[in-house]
A and B are shown apart, each in its own frame.
Chain A
């Protein structure tokens, strides 16, 4: 298994600013993912965070808006840039293990005013 922590757990931000969310895993994992969960919706994959190379983004998500770093096998960051109220969501990171299981972080609840 893997235990995942995220910081911050929640934040309230002003329109036009940026927020960086950190994700820490307690063990080395091959795959890390970032998801968005808009109010009342299910999870949507933003991107796969690749160690040592650029993240792989899903359709509808771009690097300029959601830059991702993954400097090693236990840590990743997601930045939500130039925020607008439409970015208000829960952002979750997850770690994928070789057997196909994913473990999720506690989420970051973002409110943009």
Chain B
């Protein structure tokens, strides 16, 4: 069993739709990260959070420590949001555990 599970694996949305990606983890963590990877391969860190909720523009990330669950929301989605979104957690000794990623395709 993977330490970090994401769903869905693939997601297709129409421009303007509200999108939710879910992440569950099974290890003790000091932080949870949401990452964005574009087709070229580079990875951008979107959020690092250890409690509550964070918002950057149209992106919102929430975490429930008791339930070991996090969600990434995208409001008013746009084709440029198309990417792979990866949930990762920082476990013991600063080791990262990665989810398998959610491939998002937003159609115009």
Q: Is the CB of A104 within 8 A of B98?
A: no
Q: Does A31 contact B (CB under 8 A)?
A: yes
Q: Mark A84-113, 1 if CB is under 8 A from B, else 0.
A: 000000101000100111111111010000
Closest approach, in angstroms, between the C-beta of A41 and any C-beta of chain B? 8
Q: Is the CB of B42 within 8 A of A106?
A: yes
**In chain B, what residue has the closest Cβ to A104?**
B43
For the A-B complex, the count of residue pairs with Cβ-Cβ distances under 8 Å equals 46
Number of A residues near B (Cβ < 8 Å) is 20
Q: Is the CB of B41 within 8 A of A101?
A: no
Complex Cα gap A41–B98 (Å):
10
Option from A37, A41, A43, A102 in Cβ contact (under 8 Å) with B45: A102
User: Chain B contacts of A96 at CB under 8 A?
Assistant: 94
Q: Is the CB of A104 within 8 A of B100?
A: no
B-side residues, CB < 8 A to A, are: 30-31, 33, 35, 40-45, 48, 86, 90, 94-96, 98-101
A-side residues, CB < 8 A to B, are: 31, 33, 37, 41-43, 45, 90, 92, 96, 99-107, 109
A-B contact pairs, 22 of them (CB 8 A): A33-B96, A41-B100, A42-B86, A42-B100, A42-B101, A43-B98, A45-B95, A45-B96, A96-B94, A99-B48, A100-B30, A100-B90, A101-B31, A101-B48, A102-B45, A104-B35, A104-B42, A104-B43, A106-B42, A107-B41, A107-B43, A109-B41
